[in-house]
Each structure stands twice: as C-alpha cells, then as structure tokens.
Amino acid sequence: MGKVVYVTERIDYSVISDSISRELMFSVAPAYGKLSKYSKFRELWNNCRIAYDSGGFSFITGKLKNPSPEKTITVYKALGFKKGDILIQLDLPPKPSMCMKERLKLIEKSAQFYHVMKRELGDFVLPVVHGWSEEEIKHSLKLLENPDKLGLGSCFSRTYAHAYLQKVALGTYSVNSTLFKVPFTEILDRLVLAMNMLRDREVFMLGAGNPNSIHLCFYLGAEICDGATWRLAAKMHAIFLPHLGRFSLGYKNVNKPLKDIKLLKMWWRESPFTDKPFKIFLLELKRSDRSGFIARALWNAWVLKVEETIANEYACNPEAYRKYLSKRWRNTPYWRKALQYVTKRTKREYVQEKLTVYLKQNIQSKVAE
C-alpha cells in the first residue's frame, strides 16, 4: 500500500502535501488584516512549492479596499517565501463591462504596482497582463516592458502565468460567474486571443478551476493551472472522477448524479484513501457534516492531480490531446463545443512539456469551506 490519508474530524491538512500534492496556492487576503497570525506560515509547508495569490481578484469583487503594493510586499516578506515560490503581483483586473478608458486606467495602475513590487522582491514576482482586446493586451505588455516573466489577465475564472525565460500570467473570469455576465463564446474568444499572442510562453492559469476547464487551458498552451473547485465542489456535495468530471452524491441536486459506484470504487483502489473499507469511505463521502466535506475535498484534490498526470501524457502532442478531449467530451456537448470552437480559432496548437496543477485554498484555515 502507498501513502495513506486519514480522513478524520480533526484532520491535519498537511496530508495534502504528503500524499496528494506538493504544489499549493494560497490567497493571502486574510493576512492583510491579521498578519501576526501567519508569522510561521511557511514552516507549515516546508516541502511544498507555493504560489501566493495577492488578492487582486478581491478588488474586482469589492472585498479588497484601497489596494496597496507596499502592503502586499510586507505580507509576502512576513510569510517567509522561499526560492521556487511564486509571488503574484497585486493587480487590478478590469471588468469586461467597463469602457476601454476605464480598463486602460486599471491596466496602467496594475503595471505601476508590478514595478513597485519588482524593485523590492525581484524575480519572485509574477507580473500580470490584462486586457479584453488585442490593443489592451499589447498596451499592458508594453507597460511591463515585456520582461521574461509576463502575465495576462481576463478570461475563464482567474488565471496567471509564470516562466524563467518567457513566463506569463494569465488572468481569467469564471464561465458561470453572474458578476461579469460575459457570454461563453466571448470568454473563449478572449482566451484564444490571449494564448495566440502568448504563443510558446509558459502560462500559469490561475482559477482554471474544474478538471474540464483545466484540460482546455492545458490544451491551449498553459503550463500551470490552479483552482479552488476541489473545495467548492465538496461543499456542494459533489466529487470528481478522473476522465469524467464532476458528479453529485445526491445530497444537493446541482450536478448529474453518480450512478456507477463501481467507477468510484475502481479509482478508490488506486487512491491513498484505502485505509478504510470502501463502504465506510463511501459513507464518509456522503456525510453532510464537516467530516464529509473534508473527505470529499481531499478526494477531489487527489483527482485533480490524477488529471494532471493524464494531461502530461499528451505533453508536446496537441493533436493526440485534442483526440483525447474529443473522446472525453463526446457525451458532454458543453465542453465538446468549446473544444471545437477554440480549435478552429487557434493559430498554431501547442502543449507545454510539463503540466502542473496547483491546489488553491485560503491561508487562514486547514480546510476552508
């Protein structure tokens, strides 16, 4: 038997790094108010590669008031980042509903924030490029002086990019977000435009979210994706299954129900959750209390890393990847049509050499609901 994750009421969340993933991402927004609580934060994740989300997305939702790059610098230093960590710049994502003048103003302000942080924190800082048009993206790139590390904001949910030669940050907006009310085709157009412009750069897609959108982003050329839907789906009593997507366990009818328990059992045998009999594990997944949430969240986190392994089977082979996704989504019109749509509009397909999923959670809790 391999490593084991013990799913208990008082779970030590560090099992994520021990048994599931060493790539973690944390939103530092809670630390802006109570920084002293997190003075030993980095010690808790000593063996992990960490990406720090500055909380820029909280600005667009109205939760982050008076954003300050100096304050973000203070937080990042206090958290004790290490070599290999990614510090995402504090950025101000423009809403697609804004006029171009308003969007350009935020793009220019974001670029100013980046240069302030770059002077203080150096190459650890991941710059973010924003824009909903080719003109805006080019303007954002110019303001960042087109460094080797680049970034792009706006599209699926919230995405970013990173690289040591030409690393890019791509920001996105959620497909299902009522906040932006952007048609799905417009989001796909924005995503294709961005990836066509950032051809052959290493892109970190922040907020790609669920397994299907992560695969679509990898297919379009992203190198790294992150997402919090492994927790959000767990809260909605849903679980992921490799190669298939998201299913409801019946407590809340917000997803298609999981009818084939044999599939779950098959993947359970390959998982680090075999410390308990399958029947007990299944009952744990179906519980409506916090213990059930934790069980589903950890399972979903593990599945996302399985999906990462699946994606890496098609590294540097976009045609094989397209055929796999076409087969995967043959009974899922929503994603099948999205794949067809972006394939027609992509100038030249490419898939990065190594694909990675970062698991995102809030800095303030072990398992944040």
Tokens 């808790």, residue located: 44
Predicted TM-score (pTM) of the model is 0.87
Percentage above 70 pLDDT, the chain? 82
Domain ranges of the chain: 13-369
Q: What is the mean pLDDT of the chain?
A: 83
Domain 13-369 bears CATH identifier 3.20.20.105: yes
* pLDDT beyond 80 at 65: no
Q: What is the pLDDT of residue 18?
A: 77
For the ranges 2-6, 130-134, 202-206, the maximum mean pLDDT occurs at 130-134
Confidence of residue 11 (pLDDT cuts 50, 70, 90): low
What tens digit of pLDDT does each residue of 97-107 get? 889 999 999 99
Q: What is the pLDDT of residue 365?
A: 52
Q: What is the pLDDT of residue 162?
A: 26
Sheet strands (E) in the chain: 23-27, 49-53, 86-88, 125-126, 167-170, 202-205, 222-227, 238-241, 245-248, 356-362
Torsion of CA 97, 98, 100, 104, to 10 degrees: -120
Confidence of residue 167 (pLDDT cuts 50, 70, 90): very low
* pLDDT beyond 90 at 119: yes
For the ranges 39-48, 118-127, 204-213, the maximum mean pLDDT occurs at 118-127
Q: Sheet containing 49-53: give its strands across.
A: 125-126, 86-88, 49-53, 23-27, 356-362, 222-227, 202-205, 167-170
Question: How far apart, in Å, are the Cα atoms of 268 and each of 34, 65, 72, 180, 299?
Answer: 39, 44, 41, 38, 9
